[in-house]
Structure 1
Amino acid sequence: MDADALADIRRLDAMVDHWADRKPDALALVFGDQKWTWRQFQQRGEKLAAALVAAGVRPGDRVASYDKNHVACLELTQAASRVGAVNTVVNFRLAPDEVAYVLEDAGATVLFVGHEFVEVWKQIADRINTVRKVVVVGGSPDEYEELLASAPAYEGVVDVQPDDAVNQLYTSGTTGFPKGAVLSHRALLAHTRACTELFQTCEGRVSLVAMPLFHVGGSSYSLIALYAGVPTVLVREAHPTYLLPAIEENGANQAFLVPALIGMLLAAGEPAIHALGKLEALAYGASPMPLPLLERCVQLLPTTVSLMQVYGLTEVSGVATSLADGDHRDPAVRHRLLSAGKANPGVEVRILDPGTSAPAEQGVSGEVQLRTEQVMTGYWNRAQATAEAIDSDGWFHTGDIGYLDEDGYLFIHDRLKDMIISGGENIYSSEVENAVAAHPSVADVSVIGIADEKWGEAVRAVVVPVPGQRIDAAEIIEFCRGRLAHYKCPKSIVVTEELPRNPSGKVLKNDLRKTFGQ
């Protein structure tokens, strides 16, 4: 890797240009049965940039990608960077009204829509006044390749500053409509450099991009391979059908996956476990991994797989802290498996008492706050929400509750709004969830607070049983009493077939409260 030249990069498209100049014929990208070299990937990005300009896209304009994972989205980020525009990646799992909201909120001028979602677009098209051009991606006929083929001559990049926006990703929206987090070149490059170092991404690595590109675990993670100059294998969906061939046939050996997907792969049997064992680096995050699943992962995967837990948010471009492989495999520090690790290079972490806003003492829980170049510029068109999230000293208020131990490891308990207060005692759902999840009849669990006349709130566990197992509520409560203080133990257990989750794997606790909170 040409470290000195890469250190001077100030815009995302320059990463592609760097490698297209130095190794034009080397493999850059694999998608299905298609492959592109660095020069070809660069040329496609240039053609798309020219097509955007011809469509009237100007610096600061939002262009949108509404599709499952497709090479067009990666190329759109590159092209947007070249013309000073902003790629807004829309969550394809949203309901039509939510898609309309995001497109209206962003003010998208050009829309790239996957052929599977054309009917949704037709339902909402008359509500979106800003979209001037729609390009159908994939299917028959595919308008995207035709757009590239007919693009005018590329006239070069426009003047783009490091603090200019380039990506706009919408928060998960676990409550209400999502907010658009505006991410700059500076923020994304700071994140990319730190993660390239953490993953030790270098020659010989092949990066598997499996998570949806509307999520930082897809879009921000995808930039690591572009920075390091190694091939990317992009898969359409995060499903074993796509993942196993990417590893076995295309040689992917570095990946970021959410815990639910890792659990699915481990449960799929020996072929899937064997494929995971071929990875050199496997990071996981976006939602907590239950301790029993994490321990199974450590047990089943060979030591040649470097495991890394990551914690972060859309608002900080992705990853802020990480737990290294050594902390996963050393029995002497087993307690660290419950932590989110240490601050990444360029990230500061502090804990503030939510009641007094004073720094919390070591080991005492409070709101987790982060300061880093990776922090978003702000929420799109939401000045008040931005001011509430980022203070005048540049600290981003995460809304998560946690503490730092004496060695600087961050332990996340809960979302501030999800903390349960019972009889004046703070109860963190993650602690209770780990205790319940250890019971052999429990496949999945989430904990909520319900109204209680005596204690104010009481703990309720919503559990999914292991197939073929019966849930005995009294047995599970007694099981927890051997592991937790009694006031933290569930007072009631309810059973469901599946927990509601957003696309990044986080449990939708508002939905749980509506269904099981009475």
Structure 2
Amino acid sequence: MAYTFADLFEHSVDAMPDRLALIVSGEEVTYRELDERANRLAHYFQSVGLGVGSHIGIQLHNSIEAMVAVLAAFKIRGVPITVNYRYTSDELVYLYENADLTALVFHRGFAERVAEALVSTPRVKYVMEVPDELALGNEPSIPGAVAYEDALGNQSPLRVGEHAFPERSGDDVYVLYTGGTTGRPKGVVWRQEDIWRVLAGGYDFYSGEPIADEYQQSRGGAAVAEPMRWCMLPPLIHTSALMPTFNALFSGNTVIFEPKFDAAQVWKVVAEYRPQVMVITGDAMGRPLVEAHHELQPDASSLAVLASGAALFSGSVKDAFFDVFPNLMISDSVGSSETGFGGIGFATKGLEQRGGPKVGANRFTVVVDDDNRVLEPGSGAEGWLAKLGNVPLGYYNDPVKSAEIFREVNGARAVVTGDRARIEDDGSVTLLGRGNMVVNTGGEKVFVEEVEAVVKAHPDIYDATVIGIADERWGNRVAAVLRVRDGVEPDFDSIEKHTRTQLAGYKIPRSFWIADEVVRAPSGKPDYRWAKEFSQNSDPVHRID
């Protein structure tokens, strides 16, 4: 059996070639058309010497071309490396070098930074420019770069006979890079079969049971007369969008992309294309979406499921969705680049939430102590979130970091993350926050995500990132960088009273900064490095002593 992304997608193509696969900016492509484009690009890759194990950088915003490039790399047994297009040229140099890229496919809107980075990365020998609807000009801008249209033009759309690709293996790897919001990004190396199991439908997300064979997803999709439509809003450079996209395609559904997140535009797309499922990343997308809905009042009656992952989705924002969509199913998933899917929780209106979500009991997600011993339900103990079962091989070119989190638990290989969690009486797991983002103030530990969720629920606050800053008395004090709502003068006395009703006194933010925009990664996760630097470069606007 070939549990690889290329094979699983090709099964869908063979089972339902004329079904609609993607909708992007009004362009629609069927499964057959998407496959043929990917075949053409894959054959071009082979024509310039790329093949098994070649690391191919993909620096593209959400687009048909992005999926074509990822599929083409998988087809030749290459390794697609999705690149964060918000990186500076220095950060790009680091990633290109660290990931050992030999080829790069990028949107022309990113050409200036790409050109700067390529000067210092001679290992990248093959460069391809893709037309960019978000850029003002689309003329080729990097000498020696191949135009995407030219690369596909003379290649075969077939994958059979003399045009067949090499036989693939579930041991073929996929390398994904972490967001790097607290340090340098790291490449996480997965066997394709393992990451398919935990993130792209190889296990039933609810029962935890493995699917029967490599044809089960496509066979089930072909049996459905009317496939579902998924509106995929996170950027494809992250697994929070790429893996759900593959899950949808493997099972015959239609995926809708937007090149750039714009809440008002999203609701126009929803009204026109009638998706049943919307995938977002927490408050960063949820809050502007629900507020734009209040303003625009679009027809969103098709929407049945709102799925969030990869970033904090606070209870106040979930409740705002329930006010608009009383019957909406809202799910909140736990997972990371290192663990894949760790569990899923479902929201109800008014559900009290502290920090991250609570996920139901499952045999693969556990909480361990500092000695890697599994904490039992009923203990009420806090520890480290750990993932059993299908886990990555390690960090790319970093055995020291790999040894820190890839350990043995209950006699088997496991990932012990930097997330603090609590095991509940019923075996469910409550995520408390990132262990490396704990503020130690006077000996008390404060999880910043818990504080962020409470602060953002105040009516004056649009967004917030919570950090720790040095304090002579307490070692560190809790602080917050805020974006307030437009036209609002924040009432800090009211903010203090609001937080004190929900948090212990030592968790209350004591220093506040106001920014025009709270910077986040494309995934929606807070950029804590930015928040620290912002606080160091200016005085707080308010202090509580």
Tell me the alpha carbon deviations over residues 221-278 of structure 1, each in whole angstroms, 9 at most, x when there is no partner.
2101111111222221222354234322233222211221121111214475545543
Residue 184 of structure 2 corresponds to residue 160 of structure 1: no
> How much does 1:123 deviate?
1.9
Show structure 2 runs of 5+ residues with no match.
132-137, 141-145, 208-216, 540-545
Which residue of the partner structure matches residue 416 of structure 2?
Answer: 397
The answer to which of 183-192 and 335-344 deviates more is 335-344
Aligned with 2:182: secondary structure?
Answer: coil
Q: Output aligned runs, 1:321-360, within 5 Å.
A: 321-324=343-346, 327-329=347-349, 334-335=351-352, 340-342=357-359, 348-354=364-370, 356-360=371-375
Residue 65 of structure 2 corresponds to residue 89 of structure 1: no
> How much does 1:137 deviate?
0.8
Q: Note closer, same or farther for the CA distance 1:344–1:253 as it changes in structure 2 (3 Å cut).
A: farther
Contact kept? 1:88, 1:168, Cα under 8 Å: yes
Distance 1:281 1:507 in 2: 25
Distance 1:516 1:497 in 2: 13
Q: Give the letter for the 1:57 counterpart.
A: L
The answer to which of 420-429 and 358-367 deviates more is 358-367
Aligned with 1:268: secondary structure?
Answer: helix
Contact kept? 1:420, 1:427, Cα under 8 Å: yes
Give 1:495's match in structure 2, choosing from 495, 514, 531: 514
Distance 1:365 1:180 in 2: 28
> How much does 1:296 deviate?
1.0
Which residue of the partner structure matches residue 307 of structure 1?
Answer: 330
Q: Give the letter for the 1:432 counterpart.
A: V
Residue 151 of structure 2 corresponds to residue 147 of structure 1: yes
Show structure 1 runs of 5+ residues with no match.
1-7
Give 1:377's match in structure 2, choosing from 382, 388, 393: 393
Q: Note closer, same or farther for the CA distance 1:134–1:228 as it changes in structure 2 (3 Å cut).
A: same
Distance 2:188 2:422 in 1: 26
Q: Note closer, same or farther for the CA distance 1:35–1:443 as it changes in structure 2 (3 Å cut).
A: closer
Aligned with 2:413: secondary structure?
Answer: coil
Q: How many residues align?
A: 500
Q: Give the letter for the 2:249 counterpart.
A: L
Give 2:383's match in structure 1, choosing from 351, 366, 374: 366
Aligned with 1:335: secondary structure?
Answer: coil
Contact kept? 1:390, 1:397, Cα under 8 Å: yes
Q: Output aligned runs, 1:35-434, within 5 Å.
A: 35-138=28-131, 139-140=138-139, 143-151=147-155, 154=159, 155-165=163-173, 167-190=174-197, 191-193=199-201, 203=224, 204-240=227-263, 242-258=265-281, 259-270=283-294, 274-303=298-327, 305-317=328-340, 319-324=341-346, 327-329=347-349, 334-335=351-352, 340-342=357-359, 348-354=364-370, 356-360=371-375, 362-373=379-390, 375-392=391-408, 393-434=412-453
Aligned with 2:364: secondary structure?
Answer: strand
Contact kept? 2:20, 2:29, Cα under 8 Å: yes
Kindly indicate which of the two structures has a greater share of residues assigned to helix. 1
> How much does 1:95 deviate?
0.6
Tell me the alpha carbon deviations over residues 154-210 of structure 1, each in whole angstroms, 9 at most, x when there is no partner.
521213221211x32211111332111223311232121157755999643012222
Distance 2:402 2:301 in 1: 42
Which residue of the partner structure matches residue 3 of structure 1?
Answer: none
Distance 1:300 1:185 in 2: 39
> How much does 1:372 deviate?
3.0
CA RMSD of aligned residues (A): 2.7
> How much does 1:384 deviate?
1.5
The answer to which of 76-85 and 147-156 deviates more is 147-156
> What TM-score does the superposition give when structure 2 sets the normalisation length?
0.84
Tell me the alpha carbon deviations over residues 18-69 of structure 1, each in whole angstroms, 9 at most, x when there is no partner.
1222222222222223222222222222222211111101211111111212
